[in-house]
C-alpha cells in the first residue's frame, strides 16, 4: 500500500503565523529586488493568465498589465492581485508558484523553517522502514513542499518521501486529480490511503477509489459526526496502521 498525505503534517499555525505573514511582509521587497528576473517575469505571466481566466469566469479580480507597462503601475497591480487572492484563501497554481519562490529565499537564508507535528517524523520513518511509499499532494507548489520538508524543525524529511504533487496535476477537490496521481505512482487507486484534514478532498479521493482517513489536528475546524462516520478519523499519525 502507498500513503498519500495532504498538508495534515504541518500546523495551520505555521501557515497562518509564519509563512503567509512572511509573504505579506516581503512581497513588495521581493518584487522590487527581483524585477526583470526571468523567474519573476514567468511568475507575473502566470498571475496575468490566471487573472484573465478569472475575468472570463465572472470573477472581479485585479488585472495585471503587460510587462512593458509603466513599472510602478504594474508592480501595484501584482501586489494587489496577490494580496486579494490570499485574502480570499485562493489556491491557484500561479499564486502558489510565486509564494514558493519567496519562501525558497527565506528557507535558504534561515529566516524560516518548516514546522511539522511531532508525530510526523516517527510515522514517516516507520512507513519507510516497512517498505511503504509516501507521496505528498498539496496546494502548495512542489518546490514549496520540498523546501518545507527539507528544512523542518526535525531535520530533513525528504528522505522519507517518494514523490510530490501540486495543483498542476489538478484541483484537490476533483476526483480526476487522484486518478491521475494513482496512475503516475503506478498504483491502483484502492492501494492508496489518502490522509487529509479536509472532508471535500477526502470525498474526491474516495470517489476515485482510494481509501481515506481524516486527520483531525488541534486548531482545525471540528468534524461533524456524519463526516467522521463516512471517512474515519485519527488525531495523530501513530494511530494509523498500514498493512
Contact 24, 85 (CB under 8 A): no
What is the DSSP track for 203-229?
HHHHHTT-EEEEE--TTSPPPPHHHHH
The grid cell for 46 is: 502566470
For 185-209, write each residue's pLDDT tens digit.
Answer: 999 999 999 999 899 999 999 999 9
What is the layout of strands, in order, in the sheet containing 163-165? 163-165, 133-137, 2-5, 192-196, 211-215, 233-234
What count of other Cβ atoms lies within 10 Å of the Cβ of residue 235? 12
DSSP 8-state assignment for residue 114:
B
For 32-70, write each residue's pLDDT tens digit.
Answer: 999 999 999 999 999 999 999 999 999 999 999 987 778
For all residues of the chain together, what is the average pLDDT? 90
Q: Return the exposure string of 168-182: e unless at least 16 CB atoms fall within 10 Å of the residue's CB, then b.
A: ebbebeebebbbebb
The model carries a pTM of 0.77
Q: Return the exposure string of 186-204: e unless at least 16 CB atoms fall within 10 Å of the residue's CB, then b.
A: ebebeebbbbbbbbebbbb
For 204-236, write each residue's pLDDT tens digit.
Answer: 999 999 999 999 987 777 888 999 999 999 999
Comparing 11 with 141, which gets the higher pLDDT? 141
The grid cell for 193 is: 490511503
Run of H or E including 44? helix 38-56
- Measured over the CA atoms of residue 185, residue 191, residue 192 and residue 198, the dihedral's sign is positive
Query: Does the pLDDT of residue 13 top 60, yes or no?
Result: no
C-alpha dist (Å) from residue 165 to 26, 77, 78, 138, 157: 26, 29, 26, 6, 16
Query: Does the pLDDT of residue 1 top 60, yes or no?
Result: yes
Query: Does the pLDDT of residue 7 top 70, yes or no?
Result: no
What per-residue confidence (pLDDT) applies to 6?
62
Q: What percent of the chain has pLDDT over 90?
A: 76
Amino acid at each position: 500500500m502507498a500513503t498519500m498525505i495532504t498538508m495534515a503534517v504541518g500546523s495551520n499555525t505555521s501557515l497562518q503565523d509564519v509563512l503567509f505573514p512572511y509573504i505579506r511582509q516581503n512581497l513588495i521587497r521581493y518584487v522590487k529586488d527581483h524585477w526583470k528576473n526571468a523567474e519573476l517575469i514567468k511568475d507575473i505571466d502566470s498571475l496575468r493568465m490566471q487573472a484573465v481566466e478569472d475575468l472570463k469566469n465572472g470573477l472581479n479580480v485585479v488585472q495585471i498589465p503587460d510587462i512593458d507597462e509603466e513599472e510602478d503601475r504594474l508592480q501595484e497591480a501584482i501586489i494587489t492581485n496577490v494580496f486579494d487572492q490570499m485574502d480570499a484563501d485562493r489556491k491557484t497554481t500561479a499564486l502558489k508558484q510565486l509564494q514558493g519562490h519567496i519562501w525558497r529565499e527565506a528557507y535558504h537564508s534561515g529566516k524560516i523553517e518548516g514546522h511539522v507535528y511531532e508525530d510526523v517524523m516517527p510515522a514517516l520513518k516507520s512507513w519507510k522502514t516497512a517498505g511503504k511509499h509516501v507521496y505528498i499532494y498539496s496546494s502548495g507548489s512542489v518546490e514549496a513542499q520540498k523546501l518545507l520538508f527539507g528544512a523542518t524543525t526535525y531535520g530533513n524529511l525528504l528522505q522519507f518521501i517518494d514523490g510530490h504533487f501540486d495543483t498542476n496535476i489538478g484541483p484537490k477537490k476533483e476526483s480526476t486529480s487522484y486518478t491521475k496521481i494513482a496512475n503516475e505512482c503506478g498504483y491502483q487507486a484502492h492501494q492508496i490511503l489518502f490522509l487529509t484534514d479536509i472532508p471535500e478532498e477526502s470525498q474526491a479521493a474516495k470517489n476515485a477509489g482510494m481509501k481515506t482517513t481524516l486527520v483531525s489536528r488541534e486548531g482545525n475546524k471540528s468534524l461533524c459526526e456524519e463526516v467522521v462516520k463516512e471517512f474515519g478519523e485519527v488525531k495523530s499519525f501513530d494511530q494509523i496502521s498500514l498493512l
